[in-house]
Structure 1
Amino acid sequence: MESMGNMIRTHSCNDLRKANVGDEVVLMGWVLRRRDHGGVIFIDLRDRWGLTQIVFNPETDPEAHAKAHQLRSEWVLAVRGKVEARPDDMANPKLATGEIEVMVSELRVLNSSDTPPFPLDEDIEVSDSLRLQYRYLDLRRPEMAANMVMRHKAVQAIRTYLDDHGFLDIETPMLTRSTPEGARDYLVPSRVNAGRFYALPQSPQLFKQLLMIAGMDRYYQIVKCFRDEDLRADRQPEFTQIDMELSFVDEEQIITVTEGMIAVLFKKTLGLDLTPPFARMTYDEAMSRYGTDRPDTRFAMEIVDLTAIAATCGFKVFREVADGGGTVRAINARGCGSFSRKDLDDLTSFAVQLGAKGLAWVKMKAAGEWQSPIAKFFTDDERAAIARELDAVEGDLFFFGADKPAAVCQVLSELRLELARRLGLLKKDVFNFTWVTDFPLVEYDDKEKRFQALHHPFTAPREADVDRLETDPASVYSRAYDLVLNGTEIGGGSIRIHQRQMQARVLKVLGIGEEEARDKFGFLLRALELGAPPHGGLAFGLDRLMMIITGSDSIRSVIAFPKTQKATCPLTEAPAPVSRKQLTELYLRPDWKE
């Protein structure tokens, strides 16, 4: 292998254009592919900026040409040469540097490479575990490199916007105490405090509220957070939040600032001009129309409540559900009346897997006729009324759910998404933002037999509902708001409780008595007694945002070194065993085999 010597890189592999013809340049990068055309050797040289074709001609420089015979994929090169125009019939319009090539006069091999475990110049199927094991190779692939560049642009745009709007970037501790925030904590044993543990933060929630009490007024942080929970495509054990908190504001001011930030973010990354204000709907409206508090509004197919009609119909299943306090709802799959019986059976199985007892369907035929196993149970007037409610026309297909409201919402919400997938309605180049507001403050947990905070215990109740906090907590709404993009919650927040008495009342509703409150939140309760201003904020999942912006199917594609769905790192083989000595120093009993 050779050193760079006196060769200093003059351009990246994406810089050169026709205007550079005749220039002597020095490029450095990796061999993407090598082609030998009758003695002349062509190599595509790649770096993170792009690709340049370099040429080794035996007549121009026999020595460099002779060395080029040994070059293989992923070897690291430095080359000196002259920029030449490609012949018109050899230009590559798909490549930014496609009108030029570099005729090499000097070659230095900076490092060789074994054969990579998977090709980097082809769009082939490679297992996630192999890609993560060799993540540094995976990141050389143009689409992965582009994701990292896009993430950088996003972070820079966010920092600039928030700085321009008076926010301070303030770091909060990574080692803190365990507090209940919904998911399991990652615990860190303390060597100097035997038997005691730190927790890695699930969010900087309490510290950012303390910063408001400290008078910092506007805070932000792009920060790592940790949750020990079961993983899915859009979750990781460690993830990144865009965390924000503001003093002396209400919901409208926070939403306005946030929409401005999102607009700048999409302009800087995708060149899109968003037009705030974004759409809004209440939690109750979202559940009624879409069956979820994360509505995907890129397509219609909204849920319609037919309980009033079902209560008097001849179909016993619907009537009994309606009479028993349940609900009957339906969605209209516009133009899907041509679905085959197999399609319908598959969708029925899909609904049953979600907990439905079955799936009633109707195909709308000419003159309002129904094709359905349940058609005979409805009168002409009832069929006409249902068709009106669903805005149904000939060729439509509608599906019914009949059960308790929560069960029907879950099934029909997932069913409309499955239909949208089958119909190609989930366009990745369409970005529909929706604020969901006015969430319930608490929800009852049948397993724990107590109320739990729908967001977190520090969310302020709506002022008009405070009188019912102790007597009917389930009816109390909060001052919370989530921003949903294409059916994914990308962030959310709330106006916080800033008075100790109110915080104690909410904790009591959640089954947290005075002693437990002092033990877990005593520092916050004391701070609320020392001039806490009204404040609120929100946090965005940066990884989720980047997944949508880049059109990726998983947040692993936008994180440089992610974990698997089992929370492991194939690259470093973490988590890994540690020595008995380390465990002893931490006062942990090593009862398991090393």
Structure 2
Amino acid sequence: MHRYRSHTCGALRASDVGTTARLSGWCHRIRDHGGVLFVDLRDHYGLTQVVVDPDSPAFKLAESVRAEWVIRVDGRVRLRPAGTENPELPTGQVEMYATEIEVLGPAAELPMPVFGDVEYPEETRLRYRFLDLRREKLHKNIMTRGAIIDSMRAKMKGQGFFEFQTPILTASSPEGARDFLVPSRLHPGKFYALPQAPQQYKQLIMMSGFDRYFQIAPCFRDEDPRADRLPGEFYQLDLEMSFVEQEDIFAAVEPVITGVFEQFADGKPVTKNWPRIPYATAMQKYGTDKPDLRNPIEMQDVSEHFRGSGFKVFARMLEDPKNRVWAIPGKHKSANEVGGTGPIARAFCDRMNSWAQGEGQPGLGYIYWAVPETIDIVRARGGDMDRRDFAKGPLANNVGPDRTEAIRLQLGLDFGDAAFFVAGNPEKFVRFAGLARTRVGEELKLVDHDRFELAWIVDFPFYEWSEDDKKVDFSHNPFSMPQGGLEALNTQDPLTIKAFQYDIACNGFEIASGGIRNHRPEAMVKAFEIAGYDEATVQERFGGLYRAFQYGAPPHGGMAAGVDRIVMLLCGTTNLREISIFPMNQQAQDILMGAPNEASPKQLRELHIRTNLPEK
């Protein structure tokens, strides 16, 4: 028999009854039932109940073992007594009667339990991540992550893509975040950069004639951590294709992502035919370029109903042609519906107003249409009620019944519904409007959390105005092709140029981004020139790509999908630390391994570096 095990802890079945087995694993839970010990023995593969009674030669040693001790157990497999079977365990029909126990690894007092799913402070969980990873839910998440990556890889190869690995030590690139720099010992005073993305390399692969590339690529960005992006590093499904237009990218990527979601969605519905939503439309309807389409609310422009109205605050704002008034319609769900909250009343509207003030806004204007007490009687008689009589709230009082009714008709609202309003320059209020839309949808229980809604976001602006630098800058990927090509760059206002750039949005998260590339050297130079980079700078910073474009560059494009975010969504969490094996904390520290740490004087001398620390 093998030194440590004849079976894993998830392998024994009724067909093994009567045989002798050897198991090794962790003591998951230990129970004393009137002098008989029950040890739930756990390994990566499952859990088996081990029974030790006073007649067993292993009993004395079994009394000393504690939670998370690693032991080897020899014993006989037998059926569990009738009525004690556990149908939730694959091994739940059997148990193992221990005849011999060996302690392989005793455990000190635990700083956090492995059994159960109790929440513990993140500092404790990350410091003892090896214990945290033994817990069932997190262990399962990590295994799911591996299965999702395997599925991505298989689906990409099935589409005719070839897997390549690009360099980790490379040159700095303007991807929109700070680089991690690595000092060069052999070239004093010079630095490598860890890649923010394999952008230039994957384009060079197309220049090299390989046609279809992909990899599960590590990416490194020195940016502040947040819940939906890990500090330091993340992984993406990176791909590039030659001789393609935007539709070819969509046709290749959509079945891969849809297939992965369907495979791991645990039966939840997944979008079949993805909508194509222009960036400008997404911002106007949803207040974000990564809309959560599970929320049915679509904002609408209702400026004309307030222009010249008795509500002077909005009326004066609209004298500036840049300003608009947007409405967030809230249709109530009947209390008889699943999750229904019933008609919207003033108390709800006032709570939304208070929430807006908590977000730093002056408030959130509203109109609600009260449900008349006699509505059932009137409808039973075949009559109807004039809804203008039931529009309530300060805005309704100021704009008058006719304008209020016009707003209601435009928004498709009825008794028990409400509308909330934001006003000003959309460029300044759009983010808040999107938050308000989300808040209304969640509060009214309109969001269906048990589905995955995927969409393409297209036609991003090529440039944006940088208020900090007081200049035009790239709004997305600087290597993308502007719609209209070189002619658009030469003749259009830069802020009106759209790009062949696209994102994939899912349930309020951006999970992928890409574009058709600008493969013409003269167009590349012009595009960077508008953003403030001269040709010499382009050649210096992107020399490899620039030179490659001189020697026969095929039209090409691609994208990158965030592996971490996709896994996060499919595991049903909103925190990437729940799907990453050894993540950093919110301060970008690896408190398990003690990184970042100080370099020794010898290391600094070898690198010709002196530190210049800020004053405390």
Query: How far apart, in 1, do the equivalents of 2:599 and 2:393 lie?
Result: 63
| Superposition CA RMSD, Å | 2.1
Residue 284 of structure 1: aligned partner: 280
Segment of structure 1 superposing worse, 452-461 or 15-24: 15-24
Distance 2:60 2:462 in 1: 74
| 1:246 equivalent among 241, 247, 252 | 241
Distance in 2 between residues matched to 1:340 and 1:566, nearest whole Å: 43
2: CA distance, partners of 1:22 / 1:211: 60
Which residue in the other structure is 2:48 paired with? 52
The match for 2:255 is 260
Q: Does residue 568 in structure 1 map to residue 576 in structure 2?
A: no
CA distance in 2, matches of 1:406, 1:356: 15
State the distance in 1 between where 2:38 and 2:198 align: 53
1:174-185 matches, cutoff 5 A = 174-185=168-179
> SS at the partner of 1:63?
coil
Map of 1:132 onto structure 2: 126
Q: For residues 109-124 of structure 1, what are the structure 2 equivalents within 5 Å?
A: 109-124=103-118
The answer to whether the aligner puts 1:186 opposite 2:183 as a matched pair is: no
The sequence identity of aligned pairs, in percent, is 39
SS of residue in 1 equivalent to 2:573: coil
Question: Which position in structure 1 is the counterpart of 2:362?
Answer: 357
**Is the CA contact (8 Å cut-off) linking 1:348 and 1:358 kept in structure 2?**
yes
Deviation at 1:424, TM superposition (A): 4.2
Mapped pair 1:436 → 2:457: yes
Equivalent position of 2:218 in the other structure = 224
TM-score by length of structure 1 reads 0.95
C-alpha separation in 2, matches of 1:395 and 1:521:
59
Instruction: Give the distance between the partners of 2:534 and 2:331, measured in 1 at CA.
Output: 53
| Pick aligned residue for 1:299 from 295, 300, 310 | 295
Partner Cα distance (2:501, 2:115) in 1 = 47
Match of 1:332 among 329, 351, 367: 329
Q: Is the 8 A contact 1:428 1:551 kept in 2?
A: no
In 2, are the aligned partners of 1:468 and 1:475 still within 8 Å (CA)? no
SS at match of 1:103: strand
Q: 2:451 & 2:185 partners in 1: Cα distance?
A: 52
Matched AA of 2:189: G
- d(CA) in 1 for partners of 2:492, 2:265: 50
Partner of 2:547: 526
String of CA shifts for 1:20-68, please: whole Å, max 9, x gaps: 3333322221011101112211011111222211111233xx2112211
Amino acid at match of 1:241: Q
Matches within 5 A, 1:501-520: 501-520=522-541
Unaligned runs of 5+ in 2: 333-340, 373-385
Equivalent residues, number = 588
Would the alpha carbon gap of residues 70 and 186 (structure 1) be closer, same or farther in structure 2, given more than 3 Å must change? same
> Which residue type is aligned with residue 536 of structure 1?
G
- Report the CA distance between 1:122 and its aligned residue: 2.0
Residues 195 and 440 (structure 1), Cα distance of their counterparts in 2 relative to 1, 3 Å cut: same
1:476 maps to which residue?
497
Where does the alignment leave 5 or more consecutive residues of structure 1 unmatched? none
* 483 and 26 in structure 1: CA distance in 2 versus 1, 3 angstrom threshold: same
CA distance in 2, matches of 1:564, 1:247: 40
Compute the displacement of 1:337 (Å): 7.7
Q: CA deviation at 1:356?
A: 3.0
What residue is the counterpart of 1:171 in the other structure? 165
Q: Which amino acid aligns with 1:30?
A: W
The residue identity in structure 2 corresponding to 1:287 is M
1:471 is displaced (CA, Å) by 3.6
Q: 2:438 aligns with which of 395, 413, 417?
A: 417
Which range moved further: 437-446 or 468-477? 468-477
Q: Residue 126 and residue 437 in structure 1: after superposition, are their counterparts in 2 closer, same or farther (change >3 A)?
A: same
Is the partner of 1:116 in helix, strand or coil?
coil
| Amino acid in structure 2 at the alignment position of 1:139 | L
Q: Structure 1 residues 182, 339: CA separation in 2 closer, same or farther (over 3 Å shift)?
A: same
| Partner residue, 1:313 | 309
The correspondence of residues 97-108 of structure 1 with structure 2, limited to 5 A, is 97-108=91-102
- Report 1:390-409 matches (<5 A): 390-409=411-430
TM-score normalized with structure 2 length? 0.91
Secondary structure at the counterpart of residue 178 of structure 1: coil
| DSSP 3-state at the match of 1:90 | coil
Task: Measure, in 2, the Cα distance between the counterparts of 1:570 and 1:234.
Answer: 20
Query: Corresponding residue for 1:27?
Result: 23
2:557: which partner in 1? 536
Range with bigger deviation, 81-90 or 390-399: 81-90
Q: Which amino acid aligns with 2:366?
A: W
C-alpha contact 1:465 1:477 (8 A) present in aligned 2: no
